[in-house]
Structures are given as C-alpha cells and as structure tokens.
Amino acid sequence: MPVKATPPASISTQPHSTDAERTVLGALLMDPDAIIKVSDFLKPEDFYDPMYRIIFQAMYDLHMEHEVIDFVTVSNKLSNDKKIQEIGGSSFLAGLAADVPTSSHIYQYGQIVKTKAVHRRIISAGEKIKGLGFEEARSVPELLDEVEKTIFQITNMFLKDKFVHIRTILDQRYEKFAEMHESKDEEAMKGVPSGYQALDNKLSGFQPSDLIVIAARPSMGKTSLALNIAQNAAIKHHKSIGIFSLEMSKEQLVDRLFASMLGVDSWKLQRGKLEDSDFQNMGPIMDELSKSNIFIDDSVASSLPELRAKARRLQMEHGLDLLVIDYLQLMSTGNMSYAGNRVQEISEISRSLKQLGRELHVPILALSQLSRAVENRPGNIPQLSDLRESGSIEQDADVVLMMYREDYYEEDSDRPGLTDLYIRKHRNGPTGRIELMFKKEQMRFYDVDKVHKPTGV
C-alpha cells in the first residue's frame, strides 16, 4: 500500500494550498507531457512546502534537459542530487502519484499554486516597503522608484506575455490597415498627429513606444515646436499630453501656449499691452485650453525615478497619449555613481526613456541640445554627430528631427522665419527635409502653405 503524501507539521499561516501543490506534482508523475501546460508560468520558488519545492525543482531541471518526467527519472535525479532523503525517500513520490486520479486539471491547480505564491510575495513586498520607509538617509524619489519596482516585479511575474501566433497579429494589423484605408479622414494615421501635414505625411504621426528627439541649438525654437505639437494633439485630436519642463516654469509655458493661440506677441501678453480685440478673444481661447488634457510638471530637480513615477500616475489617473520632455540634458538619473561621467548618465537617461515609452506604450518626445560643432561647419546644417554629450541618443531614438533656420545665423537672410526640419533618423520610414514657418514673436510654427492660418487649432 503506497504511503500517502502528507505536508510537514511546520506549515505556517502564510497563503498556500498544500492540496494544489501535491496534486500538481502527482499529475506530473502520471503524465510526462503535463509539464508543458505549467512550465511557462510555474517555477520551483512558487511552491511553499520545502519538500514539494525540491521535487518540482528536480522535475523542472529534467524538463529543461529534455528528459522524460516519471517516477524513475525523478527518483534518480533526487538521488544524484543527494536530496531523496530530504523528501522522505522514494515512497513519498509513490504516494504523490497514487493520490491523483487524473492529470487533466493540472493547469487549474498550477494557477492556484501561482496565485498563492503571488499573495506571499505581496506580503513580502509590504514588509520590504515598510522597511524602506525607515531609510531616511535616502532620497524620496529613489525610495519611491524602488517601491514601484517592487510592485511591478510582482505584476510582471504573474502577468507575462506569451508567444502569439502570427495569424493573430496579422488579423489585428489587417483590421487596422482596413480602417485606415476606408477612413474618409485624409489625415487619419496610426500615431499621435503633430498637426503639421508635411511632418505627419513623413512619420504617420508619432508611434506608440517610439522615442522621438527634436534637436537644435539654443533659441532655435525647439520648445515652441514641441508646445505647438502638444496643443495640436490635445485640442484638435483630443489626446492626453504630459509635459515635463526642466527649463521653463509652468507659467511661462502656459503664457507661450496662450500667446500662440491668441496670435499675439508674447512680450505684449506678458506686459499687458494687448488690444481690446485681443481681450475679447481671450475668453474662448482660455475655455478651449482649459478643456484640453494638457498636464505640466515643472519640477526643477526631475530625476528618472521621479519622472517614471509621475508618468505612470498620470497615465493611470488621466490617460496618456504623448509625453514631452524639455529637455534631455537637464535630466539626471538620481544615481550618484554617475557623478563626473555625464556621457554615461545621458546614455542611461536615453535608454530609460526608451524603456518607459515601451512600458507605457506611448511616444515620448524629448528635446535635446546640439553641440557647438555645428557652429564651426560651413552652412551650419546639423548632423547626427552633433547630438550633445552622447551617441546613445542617436542609437536609442526611433526618430531624430533636427532644426535649422538660416535667419538664426544670417540677419539679412532672404528666408526669414523659414525653418528646415531635417528627419535625420527614422527607424521605420523615410528620412528627408520639410519646411515650417516660424513666427518668433508668437512662438508659433505653421505649415508653409498655411502661414496665415494656425495649424491644428
């Protein structure tokens, strides 16, 4: 008569299911193919009972070595590893197999084991987070980032993507292509529209998970272009936009947006030198702006942990379609180990922004300064090599846009306000050059063929 498997007497009150763990092991001893149903989500550390954990580890190792799992192979594996006595001998294994009439429900029992393991990890995470609260010497952004990482590790452990058959992906893509083909909206596109026809024709909008870099020398207008794109997407296309401004205050950004939509010189707005007609137009424009989903954060010392936490919270509370960062070189990792090595720190920042875009599944529009090397080049046309402080920006970015205005360098230029926007890198499409018109007094860009008509608003 087989010996019935029994749990050890020292089982505590932490969440677990002895019956589910025992049933999974018995089913695996009965059916060599059953491991395929649970191996993608169930791991040895998910078992609470130490003896059951040892047994499943042996089974898991056999599976990874492409060996058959049965009573003989598992016993032999445990004996070779000198662990057979830790579980009570071969008779304990025989009892496990005898307790299970069928292996058909192993997936369901495996899910129970996994769920209980998640419950235990939540308890452990709570203890860890409680301990972090007493580490007063560490910065709050660093602590909050570690808290979020702890929670996300549990989430990723339980909710993992699996292989998807290409048929499923093709069906989804066909539906999207058909929708775009049949759309009566000529400006329909897959990504977040910039509001500038020539740019959207090249990029098909800003794609989810993409890192888009707008690079230029100081005072070239990159902040204005980013704000124009944000207001176009928010007001015309009803997108939710998050703006991290490390250079300008939120009041300065709002003044720029307001002057741009009102069509007045920004300095007149700041000094109250507006015409009566301008004041009459202020009400409707304020209403339009206030109804848009534009969220601004002007924290002076924004670090990567703080930015990630705020972006996640914004997406959870209000939704997020586009994240704008002004600008990349003013960011820090919050990690003192990079002190004195700005190149490595910028590399880490660009990689982290790319990862954040993939995590949130939104495009990230990051502004970047160019090095002075462009000033020494005949014609002053910017190249990818001019990206300041790190070549990793070029590597991590999906799209790199570089701005050039001839009147920036030549006061008597016969192309006043005309801005060349070079698409120096486009991972999934064409590169090239487009033209925009910049009204510096209004801090506003227009499509060249719509100079007298605001774009997208």
Integer Rg of the chain from CA:
30
Contact 296, 253 (CB under 8 A): yes
Q: What tokens does 244 get?
A: 């991290």
Q: Report how far residue 443's alpha carbon sits from residue 366's, in angstroms, rounded to the nearest whole number.
A: 19
Give the end-to-end CA distance of the chain in Å, rounded to a whole number: 82
- How far, CA to CA in Å, does 20 sit from each of 112, 190, 364? 7, 46, 45
d(CA 289, CA 446): 19
136 has catalytic annotation = no
SS (H, E, C) the chain: CCCCCCCCCCCCCCCCCHHHHHHHHHHHHHCHHHHHHHCCCCCHHHCCCHHHHHHHHHHHHHHHCCCCCCHHHHHHHHHHCCCCHHHCCHHHHHHHHHHCCCCCCHHHHHHHHHHHHHHHHHHHHHHHHHHHCCCCCCCHHHHHHHHHHHHHHHHHHHCCCCCCCHHHHHHHHHHHHHHHHHCCCCCCCCCECCCCHHHHHHHCCECCCCEEEEEECCCCCHHHHHHHHHHHHHHHCCCCEEEEECCCCHHHHHHHHHHHHHCCCHHHHHHCCCCHHHHHHHHHHHHHHHHCCEEEECCCCCEHHHHHHHHHHHHHHHCCCEEEEECHHHCECCCHHHCCCHHHHHHHHHHHHHHHHHHHCCCEEEEEEECHHHHHCCCCCCCHHHECCCCHHHHHCCEEEEEEEHHHHCCCCCCCCEEEEEEEEECCCCCEEEEEEEEHHHCEEEEHHHCCCCCCC
The single residue of 247, 288, 359, 406 carrying the catalytic annotation is: 247
* Beta-strand relationship, 399-405 and 418-426: antiparallel
For the beta sheet containing 211-216, the strands, ordered from the edge strand earlier in sequence to the opposite edge, are 294-297, 241-245, 322-326, 364-369, 211-216, 399-405, 418-426, 432-439, 444-447
Active-site residue numbers? 247
